[in-house]
Amino acid sequence: MNDWRIFTDTSRIAYFSMEIGLATEMPTYSGGLGILAGDTIRSAADLKLPLVAVTLVSRKGYFRQTFSADGWQQEQPVDWRPEDFFELLPGKVVVSIDSRDVKVQAWLYRVSSPAGGEIPVLFLDTDIPGNLPEDRAITDYLYGGDNAYRLKQEIVLGIGGARLLRTLNFQIRKYHLNEGHASLLTLELLNHFRRRFHATWEDRDSWDLRSVQESCVFTTHTPVEAGHDRFDYELVQKIMGEVVPLGLLKELAGLKELNMTLLALNLSRYINGVAKKHGEVSKELFPGFEIHAITNGVHAFTWTSPYIMAVFDKFLPGWANEPELLVRVDNIPDQEIWDAHYGAKAYLFQYIEEVTGIKYDPDILTIGFARRATAYKRAKMIFTDPDRLLQIGRGKLQLVFAGKAHPHDDHGKKMIQDIQKLAATFGDAIKLVYLPNYNMDVASRLIPGVDVWLNNPLRPLEASGTSGMKAALNGVPNFSVLDGWWIEGHIEGVTGWSIGPPPTDASAEVNHTDEDADDLYHKLETVIIPLFYQDRPGWIHVMKNAIGKNAYYFNTHVMMRRYVTEAYIR
Ligand SMILES: *Cc1c(COP(=O)(O)O)cnc(C)c1O
């Protein structure tokens, strides 16, 4: 293996993310944001982009999900040893937390591409002898603890991360903030570019805001006001002290409380949302800022099942590092696509039987739904009228669910429990399982193995959504509310199907659940079920369009080329 110092030979984009999902065995992610970060890094490696990623080590992980006998989510800490995966880098830095010096070190993980690129990923860690026990625990739990714990983590990520990069001699040409969690790094940069040693807030020309802005790219992911990290200034002063004068901080991050998003917005020259619609929504949330849109993607090679991969390799060689080639999917014979999908389906059903003891039928139309169990995702929507669902789907439908609720989200846990209770009442009429512990491995097996991928979030709360792109890659059509990426990917009856009304104006927060559910039932009964059972060539045509018109575009190779040309080198 190369000495890590070669990574410091080229100047790099520093990609900061609170969570990064690289492998199931490394539980340093919770959901879509972390998976996106992982896919970003994998595509950067394939494309040989000069990037270094920075995140937290999350020694106790997010959590492992199991269910009690009555279907209530139980959270177990994840047992893993970062030492088994990473090499410790020399050099430590110090950040001030609660007026104490807290040491931060970094572990290195290398993401290597078969195409020859390699991206260093730094996992920050405070579990160092000499730090107080409570400080050693700062990098334990992803999204665990209270607001104070969260602020400490964000100090380690933003300030500690920026200092470590400098100590290790990385040359950084741009900092990319993947969501607002790393915004405190802008304060480190303000000090770095400060023109006078003793600079006060009033002393305006001492602060070179412009140089900080030129250095930062900010991607926002949250389309609701309440979703953005904010901290009380009293807490900030107690825990962080005064990194920059308070007056300056308030001017940049909000007068009443420290709003991490506002801080990032004020100190980044390039700002983007993660789908066209999300860009619009963000403009309304933060008037006065120029906000662009770069639609998310998924890493094609990572999310294509081995069954479909074999077909792509045969008919579209080179597709993995040039997913645009998928546009030529019509060169693949129907039977080959169908057989590959059938293989992926059998592989999923084998897993379902292992985990639940329930045998699924590969000839029955199977719908999948898996994502974080949080209210706006409306996991229970298909069960709005269970009698109607039974009447439409008896003997013709199977359902597979998965997803974790945040440990503090009792509403999400109740949703999971309710779905498992419904499974008992449906019995064999419509088979229904809730698979435990949704993670990258489960997703890789689940998504390609169903026939339709269902998504019905409350508009406009799905900033982008990426699991539907994983489905499309595997020839699984989306059946989804028109929100996030699907507004761009949807052609009715061609790439999949919509649920509910067309996307209305950005600020609409009307709950259309009954209307959406009605449309869902109607299309299932009159369009999707008949097509699946009565017109197989027509069905396979939609599968191919999902690949040729969705997957060829909604991938992180395309996305990263856009970040390079529109954000990084401008
Ligand atoms: C892709 C993925 C997600 C994101 O799913 P969305 O439908 O975009 O919310 C979350 N968790 C895991 C494990 C995933 O693989």
Q: In this structure, which residue's CA is closest to atom 3 in ligand 1?
A: 32
Q: Residue 338 above 60 pLDDT?
A: yes
Q: Residue 198 above 80 pLDDT?
A: no
Q: Which is the closest atom of ligand 1 to the Cα of 370?
A: 7
pLDDT of residue 508: 53
Tell me if 308 CB under 6 Å of ligand 1.
no
Q: What is the identity of the amino acid at 140? A: D
- Closest Cα partner for 308 from 344, 345, 334? 344
Q: In this structure, which residue's CA is closest to atom 4 in ligand 1?
A: 32
**CATH class, range 302-552:** alpha beta
For residue 178, give the 3-state DSSP assignment: strand
CATH architecture of 4-268: 3-Layer(aba) Sandwich (3.40)
Task: Kindly compute the dihedral angle of the four CA atoms of residues 34, 40, 41, 42, in this order, to the nearest 10 degrees.
Answer: 110
Tell me if 443 CB under 6 Å of ligand 1.
yes
Is the model more confident about 512 or about 407?
A: 407
Q: Do domains 4-268 and 302-552 have the same CATH topology?
A: yes
**pLDDT, tens digit, 9 for 90 and up, residues 48-79:** 999 999 999 999 999 999 999 999 999 998 98
Q: For the chain, what is the mean pLDDT?
A: 95
Are the beta carbons of 538 and 334 closer than 8 angstroms? no
Q: Residue 113 above 50 pLDDT?
A: yes
Domain boundaries, the chain: 4-268, 302-552
Tell me if 371 CB under 6 Å of ligand 1.
yes
Distance, first Cα to last Cα, the chain: 34
CA count, 13 A, side-chain hemisphere, 430: 27
Could you tell me which residues come within 8 angstroms of residue 116 by beta carbon, excluding any fewer than 6 positions away? 48
pLDDT of residue 343: 98
Q: Residue 505 above 90 pLDDT?
A: no
Note the pTM of the prediction, 2 decimals: 0.97
**pLDDT, tens digit, 9 for 90 and up, residues 119-141:** 999 999 999 999 999 999 999 99
How many helices (H) and strands (E) the chain has is answered by 22, 20
Q: In this structure, which residue's CA is closest to atom 1 in ligand 1?
A: 467
Token pair of 176 as six digits = 């990319």
Q: Which is the closest atom of ligand 1 to the Cα of 403?
A: 11
Q: Which is the closest atom of ligand 1 to the Cα of 470?
A: 1
pLDDT of residue 507: 47
Tell me if 31 CB under 6 Å of ligand 1.
yes
Tell me if 144 CB under 6 Å of ligand 1.
no
| Backbone dihedral angles phi then psi of residue 497, each to the nearest 5 degrees | -140, 150
Cα 433 to ligand 1 centroid, rounded to whole Å: 18
Q: In this structure, which residue's CA is closest to atom 2 in ligand 1?
A: 32
- Distance, C-alpha 417 to centroid of its chain: 24
Are the beta carbons of 33 and 179 closer than 8 angstroms? yes
**pLDDT, tens digit, 9 for 90 and up, residues 257-268:** 999 999 999 999
Cα 469 to ligand 1 centroid, rounded to whole Å: 10
Strand blocks (E) in 445-522: 452-455, 478-481, 496-499
Q: Residue 224 above 80 pLDDT?
A: yes
Could you tell me which residues come within 8 angstroms of residue 268 by beta carbon, excluding any fewer than 6 positions away? 177, 186, 213, 216, 217, 218
Confidence of residue 506 (pLDDT cuts 50, 70, 90): very low
